[in-house]
């Protein structure tokens, strides 16, 4: 499959994930609550897995791509292409949220364009641990369910539920990142504290993704002793 199509799918998929997810936080965090934000992130990812999964594997998250790289599902050049596309998608979504908030008279119920930030309800150490554990869980689910042919029909459901669960846990603590691209876009356009703390929401999810790659064979050993299966559409030469 054409690499350009894969990269385009990752860019568009990440844009939609960040726009609908962080955008819901901006528009409805106070009026709708944590559950509404968690549902938005989980449901949009559920849909995107079925739309873009056959094209690119629907990573839409640099931590997932790192997990795929470390488990041999994607080459290093392919992973770099995915990372660039994902970050660009997140930045585009951050700009659109910024535009709607500043020029479209949309009240920002987060006060920071849905960007991630720690300090009010969790400190730096707690944020690092939280984001590592939550991203570990999310990426582990992705790597395992996409490796089992018998679960192909419920892949999107499992992944969407995993992301939604992460948000139920952490929205009130640090806004929930588990995805560097999701954090980069809003932080760039908000500036201030979220931008100065952005490194945490890049480093911690990547560590979680790497740990998930190391642990994934434990969940797959019984079903496939030889290791994870390469998901159709997820590999890049």
Name which of 233, 236, 237 is nearest 53 in CA terms. 233
- Encoding tokens for residue 26? 């901006």
Q: How far apart are CA 117 and CA 112, in angstroms?
A: 9
Identify which has the larger pLDDT, 134 or 149.
134
For residue 135, give Cα distances in angstroms to 8, 21, 116, 223.
Answer: 24, 16, 14, 24
pLDDT at 233 over 70: no
Are 176 and 166 in contact, with CB atoms under 8 Å apart?
Answer: yes
- DSSP code string of 49-61: HHHHHHHH----S
Q: According to the model, what pLDDT value does residue 191 have?
A: 97
Coil, strand or helix at 185: helix
In this prediction, residue 224 carries a pLDDT of 45
Three-state secondary-structure class, residue 3: helix
Give dist(CA 42, CA 17) in Å, integer. 9
Q: Are 86 and 10 a contacting pair, CB within 8 Å? A: yes
CATH number for the domain running over 3-220 = 1.20.1080.10
DSSP state of 114: T
Candidate from 6-10, 126-130, 210-214, 220-224 with smallest mean pLDDT: 220-224
> What residues does each domain of the chain span?
3-220
What pLDDT, on the 0 to 100 scale, is given for residue 150?
A: 75
Are the C-beta atoms of residues 140 and 162 closer than 8 Å to each other? no
Q: Is the pLDDT of residue 162 over 90?
A: yes
Largest interatomic CA distance in the chain: 55
Say if residue 216's pLDDT is above 60: yes
Q: Contact at 8 Å (CB) between 171 and 25?
A: yes
Q: How far is the C-alpha of 76 from the C-alpha of 70, rounded, in Å?
A: 9
Residue 77: pLDDT over 50: yes
- Average predicted confidence (pLDDT) for the chain: 93
Q: How far is CA 158 from CA 130, 142, 151, 208, 232, in A?
A: 21, 8, 9, 18, 18
221 pLDDT band, cuts 50/70/90, is: low
pTM: 0.92
The secondary structure of residue 45, as a DSSP letter, is H
Is the Cβ–Cβ distance between 168 and 197 less than 8 Å? no
Average the pLDDT over 142-169 and give the result.
92
Distance of CA 14 to the CA centre of its chain: 8
Give the pLDDT score at 220: 81
């Amino acid at each position: 499959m054409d690499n350009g199509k894969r990269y385009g799918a990752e860019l568009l998929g990440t844009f939609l994930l960040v726009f609908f997810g962080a955008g819901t936080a901006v528009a409805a965090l106070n009026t709708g609550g944590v559950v509404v934000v968690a549902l938005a992130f989980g449901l949009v990812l559920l849909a995107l897995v079925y739309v873009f999964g056959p094209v690119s594997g629907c990573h839409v998250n640099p931590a997932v791509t790192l997990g795929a790289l470390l488990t041999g599902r994607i080459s290093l050049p392919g992973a770099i292409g995915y990372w660039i596309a994902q970050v660009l998608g997140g930045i585009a979504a951050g700009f659109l949220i910024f535009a709607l908030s500043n020029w479209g008279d949309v009240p920002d119920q987060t006060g920071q364009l849905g960007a991630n930030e720690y300090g009010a309800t969790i400190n730096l150490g707690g944020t690092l641990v939280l984001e590592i554990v939550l991203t570990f869980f999310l990426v582990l689910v992705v790597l395992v369910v996409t490796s089992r042919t018998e679960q192909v029909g419920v892949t999107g459901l499992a992944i969407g539920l995993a992301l939604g669960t992460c948000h139920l846990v952490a929205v009130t603590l640090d806004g929930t990142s588990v995805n560097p691209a999701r954090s980069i876009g809003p932080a760039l356009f908000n500036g201030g504290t979220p931008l100065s703390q952005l490194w945490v929401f890049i480093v911690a999810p990547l560590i979680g993704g790497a740990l998930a790659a190391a642990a994934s064979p434990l969940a797959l050993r019984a079903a496939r002793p030889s290791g994870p299966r390469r998901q159709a559409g997820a590999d890049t030469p």
